[in-house]
Structure 1
Amino acid sequence: MAGTGKVPSKPMRTKQINSGRIEASSQRSYNRVLLLYRKIPVFWRQTMSKRLMNILMVILLAGLATGAQAEWQSFTGQDASRPEVQVQQVRDNLTRLDVTLEGIDTETVTIQGAAYTQVRLPGHWWTLDAGDPELPYITSRLIIPDAGTPQVKVVDAVWREIATDPVVPSKGNLMRDVDPATVPYTFGEAYSQGGVFPEQAVQLSEPFIMRDFRGVSLRVNAVRWDADRGVLLALESATFTVETTGTGGINVKQARFSDGIDAQFANLYARRDVRPARRPDLCDPGGRPGPDPLLQRHLRGGRR
């Protein structure tokens, strides 16, 4: 790792909530069925026989029943939504990343007669290391200067503690032709040694070169499991910075000799997570963010 960050135990602010089931789950299930029904075109509903419509409703209810134990643990009272990630390039060598979670999805899974908790974040992947607790994370790819060593710093973090059963272990990164139901669960060291998993709240990859740019991947472990206390540590909000200092380092980007960027890669770069600060000097007349200064310098072939 080029840099890692840990959330200190003392400055860390935490909140606690219970993991009790939501009493109105049956009403929500009914509302979801009703919503799905209303999405059926009116013409189809009018032409369907009553018997066929009843069969359709039974199928919808059966589909919902398979996930009846799933529960949205809201931090703000809002419906399920993706975490909000805002990236701001403060200057050429310093990037700020703000993360906000509205909540997490939890579901009870029975393994060998015991209850375990499966955790998900809308729109994000989860760990796939067989035997380790299966937990979701957030990844952002950031453009950094051509040389220097990047380091990540936790500026602030608020964690919410949620009482939980043990977290479901991952079955690993299975091939497409493998039925997950045929793969048994295994339990790694996290289940016998205790402690917090993952130990680090944020991790930074080694710098990489993506054709015209040098970058890093920032991974935020937004949900962690404290096995000793039986609680999830869910990130409610946090601010991180990635600063690149010095010269040299891993995968130094050599000076570009081209005056432009291949058009085939332009859209790919545009989808990178770095976005400019909303400052007047970086905005166009309409108030929209203007060009990323680091990106523009690359477009000029490295000239300032």
Structure 2
Amino acid sequence: MHTDLVAALDIGGTKIAGALVDGHGSILVRAQRATPARKDGDTVMRAVEEVLGDLMASPLWGRVTALGIGSAGPVDASTGTVSPVNVPGWRGYPLVERARAVVGGLPVRLIGDGVAIAAAEHWQGAARGHDNALCMVVSTGVGGGLILGGHLHPGPTGNAGHIGHISVDLEGDPCPCGSRGCVERIASGPNIARRALADGWRPGPDGDTSAAAVAAAVRAGDPVALASFERAARALAAGIAATATLVEIDIAVIGGGVGKAGDVLFSPLRKALADYATLSFVRRLTVVPALTGTDAGLVGAAAAVLKARMDATAGV
């Protein structure tokens, strides 16, 4: 069995990545296409088919036993459909059925991209050895996934742990999701930059208005940039503390572009967490940066397949 491989897809609004992954989490073959996000659904699917075609052309394809897909959401694993916010041509799109047809009927498992990150971090990264963890992506959006009782907990539709849409400000800004004061509306990269600009932060001569530019301004001592990051950190802390209070996680792992801001994010986040995570059973909660990097989506999609197979074998 150790010679078996898993095919993995990581589908986002910018790129569709594919890989053949072995039982140790090593990527043996890669393929990638840009996501034609503004085109119709079948055009997007053609890019997925091209990525799978590249993988199937590998001499290693004969060892592939299943396909794992981590997709931008919302996803619905119970119906095998996806409706990524940033890919308007896919609404209730039958991705699992279409992908299964391409790969000759192999088993296909679909999970949300936040759940994929959690699977990767628990298998290979910062949540390794932790039975109860929240793993988050903080970038253009804010997503997440849960490890509970030592197992990936995707929930019935594959979206459990979607911390970005916990409301942490009852009077907060309306969120595109329809709610108000969501973690994502405060702590995502574009919203950190939006808040800083609204409060008077001005970008440098290069005109860069990304969260990374705001983080650089924090390091240079800009108080407005600092205030925006501190507000984002408080929103994340409130969401993480709420999650820990609900399901007793002992570690929160943060990846994504904003997570790369380092101490600019983690210092105010740890300070804020002490204010929100106050009950005895959540005080030991730690917050750490993710370790799996840009391959997390692919490794996690493969991990979800491999872990499900191990659980089935063990009768879990």
Tell me the TM-score normalized by structure 2: 0.24
Tell me the TM-score normalized by structure 1: 0.25
Larger Rg: 1
Decide which structure has greater strand share: 1
Decide which structure has greater helix share: 2
